Structure 1
Amino acid sequence: MRFFTGNPENRPTEPEAIHAECPGPEPYLPSEELIKAVNLSIFLKRPLLLEGEAGCGKTRLASAVAHELGYPLYRWNIRSTTRYQEGLYEYDALLRLHDVNLLKDVNAKAKEGERTLNPRSINNYLEFKELGQAFRNDCPSVVLIDEIDKADLDFPNDLLALLEKPYEFRVRETGKTITANYPPIVIITSNKEKGNLPAPFLRRCVYYFIEFPKRDDLKKIVEIHFQQMAEQGDEATKTPPSVDLVDAALDEFLAIRGQKGLTKLPGTSEFLDWLGALAHFANQPYSAAALKAKAGELPYKELLFKLRDDWRRAGFAASS
């Protein structure tokens, strides 16, 4: 995929070997423009903000980048109640108090199961989370902040202080400041669930909108996807779909996406699931000729349509 193809002097310091927490191979086909956006983000040490319809590959990009560079990946899933501190660390004060009370019992043991009871050491009650762990690593890391727009409007701006120099945060319970030796590569996804993100936050991001793949790109994605599944030893899908079935499925899938009135268009992941079912779910592959002729009900429509109104519209008649 050739991520970060710019001046070698500007590359982030690489670990001596691939990190143990580096994700496995990701069947991802980035465009040259997307590769350039990733490179700019790394070069400028700014977050990469991704937008695009569901299923276009925003989330999977982080895994692909981490694998390509050999770095660990941390995924921070954002909720409506998320605060920026939650991505740094958690301090379990209740567990510490529990241990203090437990050790007052003269008959209590020094261990409870596999856990050492030592309330004198605050580190036993600290757990560093996705962004906090990335700051503490001895090599660069990739951090995916997924669906940032779900959080409160103050969340993006609060996050900015962490993602700029001096790249540090303070652990209030210990009074220590943790400074990142290797600022993480941060990839942020947004679906605009609550409208536009704050302007100060947008100014500090590298922005990229991922277009839905064209037909030729989808065909390449299919090839990479099923090749990887075969390499992973998945017996159920070891034989890739035939060329005729792939072509017929692509034609029908793109016709479905071209329909007017659909609330949620099926994405790449839905297409791969659907094609896998066409090729392997029954005793024999679904007939490419039948798919081209639009004979009968649309097969396995439950893999493509996820909303009631779209489900009701599903069928060959709608795309004829």
Structure 2
Amino acid sequence: MAFTGTSDYIASDELRLAVNAAVTLGRPLLIKGEPGTGKTMLAEALAESLDTRLIQWHIKSTTKAQQGLYEYDAVSRLRDSQLGDPRVEDIGNYIVKGKLWEAFEAGERPVLLIDEIDKADIEFPNDLLQELDKMEFYVYETQQTVKAKQRPVVVITSNNEKELPDAFLRRCFFHYIQFPEKDEMTRIVDVHFEGLKQQLLAEALDCFFEIRDMPGLKKKPSTSELIDWLKLLVAEDIEPEVLQSKDQGRSIPPLYGALLKNEQDIQLFEKLAFMARR
């Protein structure tokens, strides 16, 4: 089945091609892009499109690759042995399956999301090379080899916080999600809002992209922040004219806290707006 997006997820032609190419090649799909551009939602949409299960592994700075395979709970086994629990005779009772093991033994071909892989240490991707390539791993405690019943669709996201190893990159199909242009952003907004006033949308998008285009901005507002801002504009019944008003010393848009996330950007916006008025 070719991925074309879903009713709730607007995918560009380039993204659709990348997803289908990765599935055809049987390689992990490595997705990069600005925060808030829908990288994680892509895996959810892909699972929905394929009508299959989504298995999510959210990576933290303390996450180790071994946790994705399995962990041996030696502490619980020691405690049970002290209590005389007969379960201690089978070491398999103390093997905790990880997300990769869960994906490998799934009955139907699942979508496996490895989210924000760049949060982990630099060795994390290399520690998964063999498992993602061969789709199998060895459990030393039980002396068994776990093989994937069928190759899962693997989606890996990165916010580019650190460079990934070349050996890992060679095994992936890469795609960078470009920030949506105004036409595509309009379609994305239409998915989230029913009956939104077109004049309000037009003025809000003009204001949003004007902010993103400001030179020197430390944190550009993302798609998810635009959606939050529009929700607030609708909830507060803000008129479209307010967004285009330049009088009365207005320098920042109403409810700007949904868009601008630090004081440096607010001060920069106010400074540029003041210079523009002069």
TM-score under structure 1 normalisation? 0.79
Deviations 1:45-77 (A, max 9, x none): 111111111111111111110111012112222
CA gap 1:170/1:294 in 2 versus in 1, 3 angstroms: farther
Match status 1:258 vs 2:202: no
Give unpaired runs (5+ residues) of structure 1.
6-24, 105-116, 228-239
Match of 1:86 among 64, 67, 78: 67
Match status 1:102 vs 2:83: yes
CA gap 1:65/1:100 in 2 versus in 1, 3 angstroms: same
Match of 1:276 in 2: 231
Give unpaired runs (5+ residues) of structure 2.
none
Match of 1:291 in 2: 243
Distance 1:4 1:183 in 2: 21
Match of 1:162 in 2: 131
Contact persistence 1:41–1:47 (CA under 8 A): yes
Match status 1:172 vs 2:140: yes
Higher mean C-alpha displacement, 118-127 vs 198-207: 118-127
- Structure 1 residue 175, shift from structure 2 partner: 1.1
Match of 1:317 in 2: 273
Match status 1:244 vs 2:212: no
Match of 1:40 in 2: 21
Contact persistence 1:87–1:131 (CA under 8 A): yes
The aligned length equals 272
CA gap 1:153/1:225 in 2 versus in 1, 3 angstroms: same
CA gap 1:4/1:26 in 2 versus in 1, 3 angstroms: closer
Residue 143 of structure 1 aligns to a residue whose secondary structure is strand
- Structure 1 residue 241, shift from structure 2 partner: 2.6
- Structure 1 residue 318, shift from structure 2 partner: 6.4
- Structure 1 residue 81, shift from structure 2 partner: 3.1
Deviations 1:267-318 (A, max 9, x none): 00000000000001x3xx1011111224535211111112231133345926
Give matches, 1:1-320, under 5 Å: 2-3=2-3, 27-103=8-84, 118-165=87-134, 167-194=135-162, 196-227=163-194, 240-280=195-235, 282=236, 285-294=237-246, 296=250, 297-315=252-270, 317=273
TM-score under structure 2 normalisation? 0.90
Please tell me the residue identity of whatever aligns with 1:139. Answer: E
Residue 146 of structure 2 aligns to a residue whose secondary structure is strand
CA gap 1:169/1:294 in 2 versus in 1, 3 angstroms: farther
- Of all paired residues, the percent bearing the same amino acid is 45
Residue 224 of structure 2 aligns to a residue whose secondary structure is helix
Residue 153 of structure 1 aligns to a residue whose secondary structure is coil
Distance 1:29 1:161 in 2: 34
Distance 2:221 2:22 in 1: 29
Distance 2:268 2:105 in 1: 51
- Structure 1 residue 99, shift from structure 2 partner: 1.9
